A and B are shown apart, each in its own frame.
Chain A
Amino acid sequence: MIEQVAEPLQQQGFAKVVLELEVNNHPGVMSHICNLFARRAFNVEGILCMPMSDASRSRIWLLVFEDQRLEQMVLQVEKLVDVLSVRRHGAEHEVFERLEKYFH
C-alpha cells in the first residue's frame, strides 16, 4: 500500500559528464535550469555560466553524474524555451579541471 516515491539515487560511483548548454541570456534562465535538477534530486556537481561574445546568449557548463536518469534530464532541459542547444562531453573535458585550483 505504499505509494511509489522517487528517492534520491546514490550517485557516487557513476562516471561524470560535462553538459554544454547554449541559452538565451536573461535573468531567470538559471532558475529554470537549476529547478529541473533540484526537483529530481539530481545532483549538479559544478555550474559555470558566462555570456557569449554577442551578449544575447550565454553558455552554461554543468558537471553531472551519468546515472540512468541523465537521458531524461537532458530531454527535460532541451524542452526549456530558453535552452537553444545541449551538447554532451566526457568528464575529461578541461573546462572544470582548469577551475579546480580555485576550490582547494
Chain B
Amino acid sequence: MMQMTGAELIVRLLERQGIRTIAGIPGGAILPLYDALSGSDIIRHVLARHEQGAGFMAQGMARVSGRPEVCFASSGPGATNLVTAIADARLDSIPMVAITGQVPLSMIGTDAFQEVDIYGMTVPITKHNFLVRSAADLLEVIPQAFRIAMSGRPGPVLVDIPKDVQNQIVSFDAYPEPAVPDSMPVPDMAAIESAAKMIDEAERPVLYLGGGVVHSGASRLAVTLAEQAGLPTTMTLMALGTMPIDHPLSIGMLGMHAARYTNFILEESDLLICVGARFDDRAIGKAAQFCPNAQIIHIDIDPAELHKIKTAHVAINGDVATVLEALLPRVKQSLRKRWLSHVDGLKSRFPMAMPGRDDPRTHYGLVHAVAAALDNEAVIATDVGQHQMWVAQAYPFRRPRQWLTSGGLGTMGFGVPAAIGAALSEPDRTVVCFTGDGSFKMNIQELATLAEEGLNVKIVLMNNNSLGLVYQQQNLFYGKRVFASKYRGEPDFLKIAEGFGIAAVDLDSSPNPRATLAQALQSRGPCLIHASISREEFVYPMVPPGAANTEMIGG
C-alpha cells in the first residue's frame, strides 16, 4: 500500500510517463505541486517568464519529439495566460498536457482570489479537459490525459487541479501503467482498392500532404507513393519537409502564398489525393473553386475532417501511415510522362520569383544565407507574419519535424518559446527562430529564460518596424489606408538582447553580412541576429482572402 499527497502522485505519474522537462511558472494554487516537483531527481523544471511562453515551450518540445509534453501554470491569470498556447496546439494537432492549479474545491464558484473557470474556458480549445475533484481520481485522470493527447489525431488536454486535491493524502496499491496511444482504426480495404484504381486511372493527379503526415511519421511512405505513381506533390504549411523541397516531384507549398505554378497545377488536376490535410482556407482559397475538375481521395485519422469542407469521392478514415502502407502495393508503377512534363512546363513558365535571393541584405537572401550556413539537422522555427511566409517559401526543408510554425492559429509570439522548447528537447541541434519585430515583442521576456538555460537558439530578427502583413493588406486591399500598422517608436533590439545577457550581431552594420551570419550561427549558445528589412517588401504571390487560389496578385 502506497500513501502520498496528490501532488507527489502527479509528479510520480509524470516521471513514469517519461516526462523529463516541464516548463511553467509557480503561483499560490499550484505551490503544493511545485513543492513535490522540487523533490524529483528525474524531471527538470524550466522557469518561463510568462505562462504563454511555458505553453509554447511545451509545444516546441512536442513538435520536435512527437510525444506529449507538459506545462504548469497556477490558477487565475496563470491559467488564462496558457489559453493561447493551448488553442494553438489544438489547431495544429500538437500533443500537450497542461496542468493548472485551481483554488480549493470548497472555494470554487465563490469568486475566490485568482479563481477562473479554466475548465469552462478551455472546453472549445482542448481535445478534452478535466477538473479533478479528489486525489484518488488522479490515478485515472493523469494517464487518461496522456492517452487522449497522443491517440488518433493528437491535441492538447488540460487538467485543472484544486490546491486541496494536491494536498490530499491518497492511498493505493499500485501505480497505473503509463498511457499508450489507443489502437488505430482499421481502414476500409474496399475504399483503399478504389483509391488505388482512381490513382491508376487518373491523368493529372496531385498528391496533397498535410501535417497528419508528420504526426503519423509517414513522410517516407508518402514520398514512395509519389515516386511509384508519378505524382506531383504539394505540401501545406504544416507539412513542409515531408518531401524534400528539391525532390523532382515536389511542387512546393500550396495556397495563399504559393508559387503561381503550384496553384495552376492544382487547378488542372483531375485527381487530388489529400493525405492528413484538412482543406484549410489559407491552403485552398475559395473552397468551391479549388481543384474544380478533380475527384478527391481523402485520407485522415479524424473522421470529422472527411467531407467537412470538400466532399470526397473516396474517404478513408485511418492512420496515414497504415493507409499508405496498404495502398502502396495496390498502386501501379507509373511514369506519367505527359502530365509531369506539363507540370515542368508550368513550373518554368510560372516560377517562384525570389528577387534578391543572392543578397543577404534582402529577405529572401537572408533566408537563403541562413540555409547555406546550416545542414538539414538544424531546426527552423518561426513566428507569424511576412517573415514566416518568406521562410516557408524560400527555406529548403528536407525532413519532417525540421520546421516548427504556428499554422492554424497563426500566433505571433510563438517563435522564441517554441524554439527554446525544441532546444530543450534536442540540445545538440542548432535551433533557428526566424522572427519579425512585431512577433518578437510578443514573447520577448523569454529571452531571460533563453539566457538562463544557455540554449543553442539563434534568433534571426527581420525588422521592418511594423506589423508587416497588416501593412501589406492595408496597402493591397484597404485603399492604402495604413492605420495602426507602423510603429512610431523604434526599440534598440541589440541593446535589449545585451540587457538580457544574450549575444547580438547586427547584419546592417556588418561589412560582410554573410560571414557575420555564418559565424553567429556556428558559435554555440544563444544569439540575436538583427537585420533590417524594407517595409515595402511584400509577400508575393498573394491570393486575396476569400478569393480563388488562381486569382494571385504579384510574384
By a beta-carbon cutoff of 8 Å, the part of chain A in contact with chain B is 1-4, 27-28, 31-32, 35, 39, 71-72, 75-76, 78-82
Contact = CB atoms under 8 A, between A and B. Distances in A.
B124 A28 contact: no
Contacts of B307: 71-72
B120 A1 contact: no
Given A4-B286, A35-B123, A75 B304 contact: yes
Contacts, number: 41
Interface string B526-551: 00000000000000000011110000
Interface in B94-149: 119-120, 123-124, 127-129, 131, 148
A80 to B, nearest CB: 8
B308 interface: yes
Interface of B: 119-120, 123-124, 127-129, 131, 148, 281, 286-287, 302-304, 307-308, 477, 544-547
Nearest to B545: A3
A72 B308 contact: yes
Given A35-B123, A79-B302, 5 more contacts: A1-B545, A27-B131, A28-B123, A79-B303, A81-B127
Contact of A28 (B119, B127, B287): B119
Given A1-B546, A4-B281, A72-B308, A31 B123 contact: yes
A75 B309 CA distance: 13
Contact of A31 (B120, B148, B281, B304): B120
Q: Report, nearest first, the 7 A-B pairs whose CB atoms are least far apart.
A: A75-B304, A81-B128, A3-B546, A3-B545, A1-B477, A35-B123, A35-B124
A32 B123 contact: yes
A4 to B, nearest CB: 6
A68 to B, nearest CB: 11
Q: Which secondary structure characterizes the binding site on chain B?
A: mixed
B477 A81 contact: no
Nearest to B153: A79
A82 B303 CA distance: 17
Contacts of B303: 75, 78-79
Contacts of B124: 35, 39
A3 B543 CA distance: 12
Given A2-B546, A3-B545, A72 B304 contact: yes
B79 to A, nearest CB: 16
Contacts of A80: 128
25 contacts: A1-B546, A1-B547, A2-B546, A4-B546, A27-B131, A28-B119, A28-B123, A28-B129, A28-B131, A31-B120, A31-B123, A32-B123, A39-B124, A72-B307, A72-B308, A75-B303, A75-B308, A78-B303, A79-B302, A79-B303, A80-B128, A81-B127, A81-B128, A81-B148, A82-B128
Nearest to A32: B123
Given A28-B119, A31-B123, A35-B124, A79 B304 contact: yes
Contacts of A3: 545-546
Contacts of A31: 120, 123
Contacts of B308: 72, 75
A72 B311 CA distance: 11
A12 to B, nearest CB: 25
A1 B544 contact: yes
A78 B317 CA distance: 14
A78 B128 CA distance: 13
A78 B547 CA distance: 33
Nearest to A72: B308
A41 to B, nearest CB: 14
A69 to B, nearest CB: 10
Contacts of B129: 28
A95 to B, nearest CB: 26
Contacts of B545: 1, 3
Contacts of A75: 303-304, 308
Contacts of A72: 304, 307-308
Nearest to A36: B124
A82 B129 CA distance: 10
A95 B302 CA distance: 32
A78 B544 CA distance: 35
